[in-house]
Each structure stands twice: as C-alpha cells, then as structure tokens.
Amino acid sequence: MAAYPLVIDLAGRVCVVVGGGPVAERKVQGLLAAGAVVTVVSPRLCAGLAALAASGDIQHLRRRYQRGDLAGATLAFVATGDRRLSAAVAREGRRIRVWVNAADDPAHCDFILPSVLRRGPLLVAVATGGASPALARAVREEIERLLPADYAELAETVGRVRRELRARGLRPDAATWSRALAGEIRRVSAASAAPGTNGGPADARARLLQSLGAT
C-alpha cells in the first residue's frame, strides 16, 4: 500500500467496530481515547467490551453485521477474522464513502493503523504500509526507549510557549525553534539518565523563551 499519513480528529464522530473480541477491544479503546462515539456490532462481547457497554461508554448492537450499519459513520473497523465479512463491510464502506480498516486483511482496508507511541500530546506513528505490523511494532518499541516519559511534559511546555508567543504576535522561524528545542531535548535526555536535572516546566518555559529571543 502506498500510504499517505494522516492524523484524524475523531472527537464526537461516530465510528463502527464489527467484532467483539480482544482485537476489537483494542480498536475501541483507541477510539474512545480519541473522543469518538463508538458502536460495536457483534453477537458476543469479550469481558472488556461488555463492561464498556454496561457503563454506556459504547453502543452495542447484539447481532451480526448487516448492510446499513455504517450509515453516519466516519470510520469503520472489522476485527473478526472472517474475510467474507470484511469484504462485505468494505463494499458498503466504499459505496457510502466510509473508510474501512479490516484487521489482518489489507485487501479490504482503505487505511492502515500504525504502531503508535504517545508522550502526552507528542505522537509518533510507525507503519510499513501493511507489509509487517510486527516490524512496525518492533521499531516503535525501539523509539520508545529513546523517548522517556519526560517528553510528555516537554511537549506540553512547548505548546504553551507557542501559544504565548502567538498571543504576543511573535513567530520565531523554523531554524530558531530547532536550535531552542535541540537544547531542551538534550536536557530531557540528561534528566532521564539523572532524574531531577531538568528543572521542571517553569524552567523549561523560561529557557525556551530566552532561546527564542522572547524574554
């Protein structure tokens, strides 16, 4: 697959998951984390999905998929292992212009799911165009070792500084940002090796503003 990478805002948008097992549960958990409104279509649910249905976090249609289930959806996911079912959902999706992802069935996918690493607002996604999800996962795990949890705090601080500068009518160029962030990234790496050496968000904000010429 010649893939074009996207990050999609799903907050408040309807997404349909066909399937009720552990793979479907992982899809659902990711969608809920993104703020999506999730409907699961399956005769049976695993314990995790059953708990989500009982709490009202997802809508559950207790039956097999049928034509029309994708109406009003933004995205659809199939996680059943049934290729004939994947094909049927893909046909409906293409007919009504709903993108479909079928687990382990690239022929019936309009998009693929990368292996994702999150550090607060920082998101790193690794994909192989569907060739090898295992390789994507292994590369993501390698990157995970290089990006300690402190990157979440750094990402949030950088976001606040950027908004502050815009409010003041200041827009440093890309080269200035690169120099400023290079210093902060080195500090985060040092703090990971020796906890307590980074100084916290307030110090990071002050250093960034100074490096960006905005003190």
* Residue of 80 and 194 predicted with greater confidence: 80
Q: What are the φ and ψ backbone dihedral angles of 159, each rounded to 5 degrees?
A: -60, -40
Residue closest to 20 by CA, chosen among 38, 42, 47: 42
CA trace torsion 48, 49, 50, 52 (10° rounding): 90
Pairing of the two strands 122-126 and 75-78: unpaired
Which band of pLDDT confidence, cut at 50, 70 and 90, is reported for residue 119?
Answer: very high
- 3-class DSSP assignment, residue 169: coil
Looking at the chain, the whole-number percentage of residues with pLDDT higher than 70 is 96
Q: Give the residue-averaged pLDDT of 196-208.
A: 81
pLDDT tops 80 at residue 195: no
Q: Are 183 and 207 in contact (CB under 8 A)?
A: yes
Q: Tens of pLDDT along 62-100?
A: 999 999 999 999 999 999 999 999 999 999 999 999 999
Q: How far is CA 117 from the centre of its chain?
A: 8
Q: What gap in Å lies between CA 66 and CA 89, rounded to an integer?
A: 9
Residue closest to 129 by CA, chosen among 143, 140, 115: 115
Query: To which residue do tokens 């996962």 refer?
Result: 137
Q: What domains are there in the chain, each with its CATH number?
A: 14-113 (3.40.50.720), 114-147 (3.30.160), 150-211 (no CATH)
pLDDT at 198: 62
Looking at the chain, the whole-number percentage of residues with pLDDT higher than 90 is 74
pLDDT tops 60 at residue 9: yes
Q: How far is CA 96 from the centre of its chain?
A: 25
With a CB cutoff of 8 Å and minimum separation 6, the contacts of 95 are none
With a CB cutoff of 8 Å and minimum separation 6, the contacts of 142 are none
Q: What is the pTM for the complete model shown?
A: 0.80
Q: Tens of pLDDT along 134-163?
A: 999 999 999 999 898 899 999 999 999 999
The angle that helices 22-33 and 47-54 make with each other, rounded to 10 degrees, is 40
pLDDT at 200: 83
